């Protein structure tokens, strides 16, 4: 029996979907880390720079996909109960709001930078970036 010359459209769609699923996270991570590595902010883990990273990445995801995707990210990536994870969840949700409100992609980073500049330790407001006290900061980054 000869193999069919008929194309398999479902296979092409599957390959395209797999490619998008592989490229999208790389896009978000590359964009985010290109800004994080240039930032003068201190506190790579649990400080302002960590807050900036979470807020920026979540804003990009909310702008390019949907803010509801951040709920999924929080459920998968952030273990509830730890103080640092509560900070990350707070900043992820704040970033989702920023990404949802941004009119253009180029508006995202300046909006996040302003949010971090107005942030503080243990901010209670859902509209304010937060981070842990300086004594809780750790060197390096949380990958």
Task: Answer yes or no: is 142 within a domain.
Answer: no
- Find the DSSP H helices in 45-107: 48-64, 68-77, 83-101
Task: Determine the angle formed by the axes of helices 9-36 and 48-64, rounding to 10 degrees.
Answer: 150
51: in domain:
yes
Lowest-confidence region among 6-10, 50-54, 98-102: 6-10
Span 90-129, pLDDT tens digits: 999 999 999 999 999 999 999 999 999 999 999 989 889 9
| Global pTM value | 0.84
Give domain status of residue 62, yes or no.
yes
Give yes or no for a contact between 44 and 50, defined as CB atoms under 8 angstroms apart: yes
In a domain, 6, yes or no: no
Pairing of strands 120-121, 130-131: parallel
Please provide the distance, in angstroms rounded to a whole number, between the alpha carbons at the two ends of the chain: 52
Cβ neighbours for 11, distance < 8 A, ≥ 6 positions apart: none
**Do the domain assignments include residue 5?**
no
| Total domains present in the chain | 1
Q: Is residue 38 a part of any domain in this protein?
A: yes
Return d(Cα 51, Cα 87) in angstroms, integer: 8
- Indicate the Cα dihedral angle 94, 117, 107, 35, nearest 10°: -90
Q: How many CA atoms lie within 13 Å of 11's alpha carbon, on the beta-carbon side?
A: 3
Is residue 87 assigned to a domain? yes
pLDDT in tens, 10-44: 888 888 888 877 888 999 999 999 999 999 999 98
**Domain range enclosing 100:** 11-136
- Asked whether residue 143 is domain-assigned, the answer is no
């Amino acid at each position: 029996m000869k193999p069919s010359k008929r194309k398999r459209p479902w296979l092409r769609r599957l390959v395209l979907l797999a490619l998008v699923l592989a490229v999208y996270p790389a896009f978000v991570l590359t964009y985010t880390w290109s800004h994080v590595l240039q930032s003068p902010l201190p506190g790579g883990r649990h400080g302002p720079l960590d807050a900036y990273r979470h807020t920026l990445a979540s804003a990009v995801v909310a702008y390019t996909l949907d803010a509801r995707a951040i709920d999924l990210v929080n459920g998968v990536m952030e273990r509830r109960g730890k103080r640092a994870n509560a900070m990350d969840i707070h900043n992820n949700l704040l970033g989702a709001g920023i990404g949802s409100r941004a009119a253009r992609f180029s508006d995202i980073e300046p909006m996040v930078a302003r949010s971090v500049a107005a942030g503080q330790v243990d901010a209670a407001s859902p509209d304010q970036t937060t981070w842990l006290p300086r004594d809780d900061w750790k060197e390096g980054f949380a990958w």
